[in-house]
Amino acid sequence: MGRTTIVVAHRLSTIRNADLILTMKTHSDIVEMGTHSQLILKKGHYFQLAQAQQQDPNSDTHDEEIFCDNQSVQEAGEPEWVYILFGTFASMLAGATAPVVGIIFSSLYHQYANTDLANQVRQTRNLAVIMICLHIAGGIFTWATTWAFAISGERLTRRMRLAAFAAVLRQEVGWFDMEENSVSVLTTQLSVDAAALKPLDNIEGAVEFKNVHFSYPTRSKKLVLKNCSFKCAPLSSTALVGKSGHGKSTVISLLLRFYDPQQGSILLDGYDLRSLNLRWLRSIIGIVQQEPVLFDFNIRDNIAYGMLDRTVTDEEIHHVAKLANIHDTIISMPKVSCYNSFAGE
């Protein structure tokens, strides 16, 4: 799926296929580390938890591995390099207007000290005209930036969608008989996968906790995490298991920067989380909490809630619902509205 996943689990059946499992015990100590099979062979704390829950060993889930070559993606966008350069230049000009406006404001404040009334009025009028022109220019440059990047992005998406459709048409008849290659699935992939090329964040997803010490502000004397260190490899699944109160949910809270550690650091692709933009950080993380919470919107709006930067299509909503295994439940609801049914508190 092209993502790094951290799972906080009490039921071990949900993490059987994780690439790395960390077993946490009292005082948030990591007592074991490894894959499911490795920890079972150790017959340690994880083995005891597994025996107690008698988890089902059968699992037939399989995620398709996708290789992302940044150079190939850049080459695919070469036909739009004129639009990209124009958009970059326009964005630089749009950004340059902000500090200039600040300088104009400073000059306006200096006019309060001008004892020559006629000169003060003339200078203030000139500065006001300049400021109006700057705001107009900033609006034009911002529009030009949006237009240029939108054109380049849509053209790239269209070209990739046509290439994907051509690849589908080259398949043999038997390929279409498989359930994962049904018409609805292929249509969704053509709609969603090609559009996913546009927001290209160069994120690998490597997460590292380095000597993290943390206590909640209301219980500052009680350490929840003490010298906690571990790594999550990119595009892998890492599971944190253990009894309640051992700090599993705290790890997720720190990763989302609900809190910052008192000591140590948490790194994403080598960068300290505290140096990253908070809104951007949370926009690239998907979380399913232990306590399900729905907003007082319809089902569609709840699914699309995290996508604040663009409009989400119905095909994308259905695709995400299928990935979460809730699509069939939604369309089987007695109400005709289905995805428009209200949910939440």
Q: What is the pLDDT of residue 300?
A: 86
> With contact defined as beta carbons under 8 Å apart, do 251 and 8 qualify?
yes
Q: What is the pLDDT of residue 210?
A: 92
Q: What percent of the chain has pLDDT over 90?
A: 10
Q: Are strands 263-268 and 20-24 parallel, antiparallel or unpaired?
A: unpaired
Q: How many CB atoms within 10 Å of residue 339?
A: 19
Asked if pLDDT for residue 19 goes beyond 80, the answer is: yes
Model confidence over 199-234: pLDDT tens digits?
A: 555 678 889 999 999 988 888 888 888 888 899 888
For every residue of 225-271, DSSP letters joined together read EEEEEEEE-TT-EEEEE-STTSSHHHHHHHHTTSS--SEEEEEETTE
Q: What is the pLDDT of residue 117?
A: 84
Listed residue (183, 299, 308, 222) closest to 28, CA to CA: 222
For every residue of 310-334, DSSP letters joined together read SPPPHHHHHHHHHHTT-HHHHHTSS
DSSP conformation class of 173: G
Element of type H or E holding 32: strand 30-34
CA dist 70 and 200 (Å) reads 9
> With contact defined as beta carbons under 8 Å apart, do 78 and 68 qualify?
no
Could you give the angle at the alpha carbon of 146 between the alpha carbons of 133 and 136, nearest 5°? 10
> With contact defined as beta carbons under 8 Å apart, do 212 and 228 qualify?
yes
Model confidence over 177-187: pLDDT tens digits?
A: 787 788 877 88
Amino acid type, 258: F
Average pLDDT of the segment spanning 160-172: 82
Asked if pLDDT for residue 56 goes beyond 80, the answer is: no
Model confidence over 239-250: pLDDT tens digits?
A: 888 877 778 888
Q: What is the pLDDT of residue 59?
A: 40
Asked if pLDDT for residue 11 goes beyond 80, the answer is: no
196: phi then psi, degrees, rounded to nearest 5: -70, -10
DSSP conformation class of 11: S
